[in-house]
Chains A and B, each alone.
Chain A
Amino acid sequence: MIIAHPVLWVCLFCLTACSSEGDSPRDLTYEFKKPSNFPEPTYTFDNNTITKEGFLLGRKLFFDPKLSRDGSVSCNNCHQQSKAFADSEQHPVSVGIDDLLGIRNAPSLTNLAFFKEFFWDGGVTHLDFVPINAIESEVEMDEDLANLVRKLKNDSEYPELFLQAFGTEEVTSPYILHSLSQFTLMMVSSNSAYDKYVRNEGQILSETEIAGLELFKQKCSSCHSGELFTDFTYRNNGLDSEFTDTGRARITESRQDEGKFRVPSLRNVELTSPYMHDGRFKTLEAVLDHYSEGVVISPTLDEELKGNTSLGISMNEDEKSKIIAFLRTLTDREFISDSKFHNR
């Protein structure tokens, strides 16, 4: 049968057009997606919906040293994609404006959409408020938030970008912070070998890695629990008997929290050396040696580290090497090479 009637032809065209539109894949590049093996995100997306324009503005701000008083320091200085947005191995603590040193190791920015509290002491309770700390810190960017707003208002490019992202040319601090949140919210790292293994995506782990996973479950997962490998609590893991940095107690103002720091996520841990809040250990071997040999007593030492016979976690060298083999399966190469996070 030959379709001759013009109306039918038009109808067919309609159908084709519709169906082809429906089939074409949507651009998911700037869409937040919860990995199936992750918990629910905590961020208030209703107040700040991620858009391509908002993300790109956040990216520009993230890499822009204008955020610092003298134009010398950007967020990227201490948060590098190749390190899963943690600092480089050479910087146990942050190096900021005028080469001033901070007091703690810059943590990885991955998977912050799933966090309720931020920084080693958990003092910040919303992702939007995180960047103000770096911007206004005298030893990081040393810029006044109000002055940053003025600089961006008078910039030749930014007002137009705020207009595109938020519908207002008026540059204000909440929109600066929202765009930075949009950029960091997209830093979801969930495609390590481990993820593909637990999601049954055809990934195989070696015998050593599997043995390491089992040992990890026995010896580490009471604190590094869940798919983000942290229970988000604050604990004293026996680094010192006296504290130069009281950690969580600075926030809670309670002596029972002295020397406690947030249990860090272990995703991409292979890349985020040096370790601990002050970056004192350069290697994963040194970290595990600390847990097996180096734990020292103090009034707030975590109960989990008070063994029956000796302090710490009992592990032999073979067990440690297996655990480290497993920890390396948490490295997400796709994430650290994802071009949407590149500075351009």
Chain B
Amino acid sequence: MNKIKYILLVSIFALTMSCGEDDTPQAERFGEFVVEFDNIVGTKQMSLKTAGSTDYNFENNQGQNFNLSTFRYYISKIKLSGPNGEVYEDEMKVDANAANVKGYYLIQESEPSSSEISLNNVPYGEYDKIIFTVGIEEDGVVEGAAGGVLDPAEGAWFWNWNSGYIGFGIEGASSASGDANKGFSIHIGGWKDIAPAAGETQRFFNNVKTITLNLGVNAKVSATQKPQAHIVTDALKVLGDINFQDTYGVHSPLAGKPFAENITTAFAVDHVH
């Protein structure tokens, strides 16, 4: 009798297990994909100076020297897609509880650990494309006060007067700067997207940008393979043809617009391994 019970139990167990496996198609098994952001200035690696330093280690397109004291940006809404229809969309959540905030990443040159984003729950398969948003779109603002990387008391840069997050922030100094203290600060924000009515000019400027990059390879996510995509972010491309003599304080959506356009060219896949 006991033996029969035992056999029954084992077979039920086995049945359940095998059913579970049968019900789970290959694509619904999950692995990890790592995205790493490397900040550069043209051909040089980025390195920060303390604010106000007169040690200028970089040069802009106009031949003006400069240094950087702050370099930070938000990455959100990361998506991966593959040649065989594989799709991964990073979960997004705005919440007052920092632990529940999902899908928003603040990359800061001053914090090396912030440069690596580990995506879990990526369905097994091959991926050859990455799509992400630079900045915080409308749906990140309209839910109200949020925690974690969206908390202004925890380092989020937020425009109080014109509600919204500064999606990209660059600060430094240049001997060419028109500012009395030779500093410059470029704050790129603005998310409202309202088409002007007939006969009216543009109101608001949406400086949140979506970037699509080909990985250049088919990166395979499996039980044994955890791809790592290295993306370089070029500060020189974001600054574009800036002349620090007359452009040293950018603090509104309209002023940030040309830099936001530059953002679309500033990201590139360096390599995947």
A positions within 8 Å CB-CB of B: 44, 47-48, 123-129, 132-133, 136, 145-146, 148-149, 166, 168, 172-175, 177-178, 181, 250-257
Contact = CB atoms under 8 A, between A and B. Distances in A.
Most buried by A among B142, B145, B163, B205: B145
Contacts of B160: 124, 129, 132-133, 136
Nearest to A180: B145
Contacts of B152: 132, 145-146, 173
A133 B200 CA distance: 30
A124 B144 CA distance: 11
Given A181-B144, A253-B205, A254-B203, A173 B163 contact: no
26 contacts: A47-B96, A48-B96, A123-B161, A123-B162, A124-B160, A124-B162, A126-B142, A129-B160, A136-B160, A145-B152, A149-B153, A166-B96, A172-B153, A173-B151, A173-B152, A174-B144, A174-B145, A174-B147, A177-B145, A178-B145, A181-B145, A250-B162, A251-B161, A253-B253, A254-B203, A257-B203
B71 to A, nearest CB: 21
Contacts of A172: 96, 98, 147, 151, 153-154
Nearest to A249: B203
Contacts of A181: 144-145
B26 interface: no
Given A166-B96, A173-B152, A123 B163 contact: yes
Given A172-B151, A254-B201, A129 B97 contact: no
B146 A133 contact: no
Given A129-B160, A146-B153, A149-B153, A175 B203 contact: no
B158 interface: yes
Most buried by A among B151, B202, B254: B151
Contacts of A178: 96, 144-145
A181 B96 CA distance: 13
B200 A129 contact: no
Contacts of A47: 94-96, 143-144
Contacts of B143: 44, 47, 126
B119 interface: no
Given A148-B153, A172-B153, A252 B204 contact: yes
Contacts of A173: 145, 147, 151-154
B154 A129 contact: no
A141 B163 CA distance: 19
A253 B252 contact: yes
Interface in B200-219: 200-205
Interface class of chain B by DSSP: loop
B272 interface: no
A47 B141 CA distance: 13
A132 B158 contact: yes
Q: How large is the interface on B (under 10, 10 to 19, 20 to 34, 35 or more residues)?
A: 20 to 34
Interface in B150-207: 151-154, 158, 160-164, 200-205
Contacts of A252: 203-204
A44 B141 CA distance: 12
Contacts of B98: 172
A75 B273 CA distance: 55
Contact of B96 (A125, A145, A175, A257): A175
Contacts of A168: 97
Given A47-B94, A47-B143, A254-B200, 19 more contacts: A47-B144, A123-B163, A124-B160, A126-B141, A126-B144, A133-B161, A146-B153, A166-B96, A172-B98, A172-B147, A173-B151, A174-B96, A174-B97, A174-B151, A177-B145, A250-B162, A253-B205, A253-B254, A257-B203
Most buried by A among B144, B146, B162: B144
Interface string B130-144: 000000000001111
A129 B146 contact: no
Nearest to A43: B144
Nearest to A135: B160
Contacts of A132: 152, 158, 160
Most buried by B among A48, A124, A125, A253: A253
A-B pairs, top 3 by smallest CB distance, nearest first, are: A128-B144, A174-B96, A173-B153
Contacts of A146: 152-154
A127 B141 CA distance: 11
A172 B201 CA distance: 40
Contacts of B161: 123-124, 133, 250-251
B98 to A, nearest CB: 7
Contacts of B254: 253
Nearest to B155: A146
B146 A174 contact: yes
Contacts of A166: 96
